[in-house]
Amino acid sequence: MKMNRFHVAIAMSLVAAGMAAGDFTCHVDPFIGTGVMEEGGFLCGNNYPGATVPFGMVQLCPDTHPAPDWYNASGYHYNDNRIYGFSHTRLSGTGASDLIDILLFPSTGNATNSTFSHDEESAAPGYYKVRLSDEDITAEMSATTRVGIHRYTYPERASRNILLDLDHSAQKGSWDRKIIQSQIRQTGPNTIEGYRVITGWAKLRKVYFVAEFSEPIQKLTVTDGGQTRGNATVVNGRDLKAWMNFGQGRREVTAKVALSGVSAGNARQNLAAEAKGWKFDDYVAAADAAWEKELGRIEVTGGTDDQKKIFYTALYHAMIQPNTFSDVNGQYMTPVYTVGQLPEGATQYTTFSLWDTYRAAHPLYTLLIPGRNADFVNSMIRHYDDYGYLPVWHLWGQDNYCMIGNHAIPVIADAVLNGIPGIDAEHAYEAVRESSLQSHPNSPFDVWERYGYMPEPLQTQSVSITLELAYDDWCVAAMAEKLGRDEDVNRFYNRSQYFANLHDPGTGFFRAKDENGNWIEPFDPLKHGANGGNPYTEGNAWQYYWYVPHDTGKLIELTGGPKAFEAKLDRFFTLDETSGDKNDNVSGLIGQYAHGNEPSHHVAYLYNDVNAPRKCQALVSRIMKEMYNTGAGGYSGNDDCGEMSAWYIFSAMGFYPVNPASGEYYIGTPLFDSCTLHLENGRDFTVTASRKTPGSYGVRKVSLNGKPVTDYRLKYADVAAGGKLDFVLD
């Protein structure tokens, strides 16, 4: 992808829409992360270039595969050359595919897909455009929070058809995916509505829609499994498609498609509230303005154009989700399939990829958008109220239990410990406490407290789960201490130390034990696990060795002291050996460090704990330079709902949350000459960098509001208060 072509295309698109790119949206390239980083590789950022607004319910984008799955999880892959339609929901950056709901496809006959060229494709925040080559149809997309906006421009005098496909989805059979039931109903000359119930990665999802067109439908043909249903205005089935013909009048047809997880009636309300008009360009302008507001929360100067592009695209990707799940009337579908009603002014959110996003994305939300972050936290607590424990991986209001740990806990702890308003701290504590006692998938707490670790025969992924649950328990203990729950502090603090029970001084690694306390043999610290059948999750013993973010002092002690710890870090970043098959998620390698997957993300910063900050700075600078670029393969692994992006944002600002709930950041090295955070409380926090040369990254000194910072730590409270963090780099 050539960026000069990209900028020309975007400029032309925005001029056509009667607007100019904003000060911040002009730096975003939605194609970054949509393809593979290495020639011949397969691991993709799994981002998509389609139209959405910040934290919106709708993600309107082409699907370049007839049934997206693991290696094209967002539905779009830059290496493909066919488009199979435009669906309204998808995931950004995940390693598995789901959603992919309610597909439209324009044609002049009965085509259901078309070739396309990247030379005739462009995108900007809230806008997407492509020419469908086979029939010379131009498709443009924009969105509001709950409504997707389509504009199709057909050749002169062509027959104007639109396909609505309720069977199109991610791969059938994957995650036992299948359509349970669906309906298409014509409710007016210009209007189609309906629903589908589908099960897959998220179980038993109900998706309702209303589609309104700029012209009356002249002919409607509905099929069920290929059988035509005559003149029927309502059809129920499991493989429904509707062909709509709009005659040969004006070249353009505009469609507005509203979604709801509750009812078609709510989808109608969403449409009426958010998409009254028919001027497509107004929606493009409004979407750009919404993104300009969010991206403008951080203002950078200096750096190269490419660095700004990577930075603001990362911020854009981090703010695509979590996704709005409630309707304009405050109703939402609960995880127990009842209709919930929110208090006035609240929003229910979904898409919490917590194993990934608790590490840096949610601390970023705490910093930049604490008001919205309170809604994220309250959404998780409402899930607890209905379901009995906090979500693990929250998708379309359900929990798919993907991955390990209970990482809603650090997200909630981060918000409560840092005093984010709008959260009932006592209720929040009840949710995290009970979710740490009630056994659920991958968290048998009776086993946890009986053994003081997870025995591998009783719980697979035992080492990774032991390390991650120990951290979650520290978060519970910290909340208990803040709220004066003295009876819980010791219990959960003691549990937070269980990680030490799996440290083997003989090998120098965290290893799996059986239920009798015996080390499981054979042991190979280079052998990778996946998501079961191995003590390690998407990694190996080297990559998980460093996961004690709540007690690095104890980890250093177990390693043999600061010098031994530094030497082991050095070995970690230089050891290139492999053993057996590498896990597909382990990518972006520097030695055993794998930037393409989350367990490694904090490790470079641990050099600060042994008084070797220059090594931290060198590695952080190298990772920013080598693991991100402005091409379609711009990420070294799956972006995972903005987590890979959040690492870059924090690191480019010059600090990073090693312990995400601690209210403390480790100082690294800033990328830009200045970076100003325009905080929600009205204050500004500015990071400046005085460099000896343009590429300087080594920190000679750093000061906060004129006072030297010698421990390379920064507190959330210092940032929230506003002020200046000044670096001198050589």
CATH of the domain at 606: 1.20.1610.10
Q: Give the H/E segment covering residue 220.
A: strand 219-224
Interatomic CA distance for residues 717 and 25, integer angstroms: 29
Q: How confident is the model at residue 186 (pLDDT cuts 50, 70, 90)?
A: very high
Question: Is the pLDDT at 583 greater than 90, yes or no?
Answer: no
Query: CB neighbours (10 Å) of residue 47?
Result: 32
Q: 633 near 44, Cβ under 8 Å?
A: yes
Length, in residues, of the chain: 730
| Residues 539 and 647 placed together within one structural domain of the fold | yes
Q: Per-residue pLDDT averaged across 637-646, rounded?
A: 97
| Residues 363 and 288 placed together within one structural domain of the fold | no
Tell me 583's DSSP state. Answer: P
| Residues 630 and 481 placed together within one structural domain of the fold | yes
| Residues 448 and 491 placed together within one structural domain of the fold | yes
Structural domain boundaries enclosing 477: 326-729
Q: Please give the full DSSP string across 292-319, using - where no structure is assigned.
A: HHHHTTEEEESS-HHHHHHHHHHHHHHT
- Mean pLDDT score of the chain: 95
Please list, in sequence order, all residues whose beta carbon lies within 8 angstroms of the beta carbon of residue 177, skipping any fewer than 6 positions away.
98, 169, 170, 171, 198, 199, 200, 201
CATH code where residue 50 lies: 2.70.98.10
Question: Is the pLDDT at 703 greater than 50, yes or no?
Answer: yes
Give the residue among 185, 238, 174, 231 at the shortest CA–CA distance from 208: 185
CA separation, residue 186 to residues 6, 215, 217, 241, 596 (Å): 40, 14, 10, 13, 47
CA separation, residue 711 to residues 366, 473, 701 (Å): 23, 26, 11
- The reported pLDDT for the residue numbered 579 is 85
Interatomic CA distance for residues 411 and 443, integer angstroms: 18
**CA geometry: angle at 153 spanning 152 and 156, to 5°?**
145
| Ranges 10-14, 245-249, 557-561: which has the least confidence | 10-14
Please state at what angle helix 552-559 crosses helix 562-572, rounded to 10 degrees. 90
- The reported pLDDT for the residue numbered 55 is 98
The tokens of 227 are what?
Answer: 């059988």
Query: CB neighbours (10 Å) of residue 450?
Result: 12
Q: State pLDDT tens for residues 393-436.
A: 999 999 999 999 999 999 999 999 999 999 999 999 999 999 99
Q: How confident is the model at residue 3 (pLDDT cuts 50, 70, 90)?
A: very low
- The reported pLDDT for the residue numbered 42 is 62
Asked whether residue 467 is domain-assigned, the answer is yes
Tell me 582's DSSP state. Answer: P
Asked whether residue 506 is domain-assigned, the answer is yes
Ramachandran area for residue 512 (φ above 0: left; ψ -120 to 50: alpha; else beta)? beta
Question: Is the pLDDT at 17 greater than 60, yes or no?
Answer: no
Interatomic CA distance for residues 166 and 184, integer angstroms: 9
Q: How confident is the model at residue 230 (pLDDT cuts 50, 70, 90)?
A: confident
- The reported pLDDT for the residue numbered 222 is 96
Give the residue among 455, 594, 511, 537 at the shortest CA–CA distance from 43: 594
Asked whether residue 319 is domain-assigned, the answer is no
**CA geometry: angle at 92 spanning 88 and 93, to 5°?**
150
Q: 83 near 59, Cβ under 8 Å?
A: no
Interatomic CA distance for residues 47 and 636, integer angstroms: 12
Tell me 399's DSSP state. Answer: E
Q: State pLDDT tens for residues 315-370.
A: 999 999 999 999 999 999 999 999 999 999 999 999 999 999 999 999 999 999 99
Domain closes at, from 246, 275, 295: 295
| Ranges 8-17, 27-36, 631-640, 679-688: which has the least confidence | 8-17
| Residues 549 and 647 placed together within one structural domain of the fold | yes
Q: State pLDDT tens for residues 494-528.
A: 999 999 999 999 999 999 999 999 999 999 999 99
Order of strands across the sheet with 723-729? 298-301, 674-678, 684-691, 723-729, 699-704, 707-708
Asked whether residue 505 is domain-assigned, the answer is yes
The tokens of 499 are what?
Answer: 């990680």
| Residues 282 and 426 placed together within one structural domain of the fold | no
Q: State pLDDT tens for residues 77-119.
A: 999 999 999 999 999 999 999 999 999 999 999 999 999 999 9
| Residues 495 and 398 placed together within one structural domain of the fold | yes
Domain closes at, from 240, 274, 295: 295
Residue 195, CA atoms < 13 Å, CB-side half-sphere: 18
| Residues 609 and 467 placed together within one structural domain of the fold | yes
Interatomic CA distance for residues 251 and 156, integer angstroms: 6
Amino acid 707 reads K
CA separation, residue 167 to residues 164, 181, 713 (Å): 9, 10, 53
Name which residue leads in pLDDT, 356 or 586.
356
| Residues 541 and 612 placed together within one structural domain of the fold | yes
Q: 105 near 162, Cβ under 8 Å?
A: yes
Question: CA torsion, points 539, 432, 317, 116, in degrees to nearest 10?
Answer: 70
Asked whether residue 109 is domain-assigned, the answer is yes
Asked whether residue 382 is domain-assigned, the answer is yes
- The reported pLDDT for the residue numbered 306 is 98
| Residues 228 and 377 placed together within one structural domain of the fold | no
Q: 644 near 599, Cβ under 8 Å?
A: no
Domains in the chain, number: 2
Asked whether residue 126 is domain-assigned, the answer is yes
Query: CB neighbours (10 Å) of residue 391?
Result: 24
Question: Is the pLDDT at 11 greater than 80, yes or no?
Answer: no
Domain closes at, from 255, 275, 295: 295
Q: What do you get for the CA distance between the two ends of the chain, in Å?
A: 34
Please list, in sequence order, all residues whose beta carbon lies within 8 angstroms of the beta carbon of residue 311, skipping any fewer than 6 positions away.
27, 300, 303, 648, 649, 652, 671, 672
| Residues 330 and 291 placed together within one structural domain of the fold | no
Q: Per-residue pLDDT averaged across 622-632, rounded?
A: 97
Q: 249 near 169, Cβ under 8 Å?
A: no
| Residues 112 and 32 placed together within one structural domain of the fold | yes
**CA geometry: angle at 406 spanning 533 and 646, to 5°?**
100
Q: State pLDDT tens for residues 264-306.
A: 999 999 999 999 999 999 999 999 999 999 999 999 999 999 9
Please list, in sequence order, all residues whose beta carbon lies within 8 angstroms of the beta carbon of residue 193, skipping any fewer than 6 positions away.
185, 187, 208, 209, 210, 211, 264, 267, 268
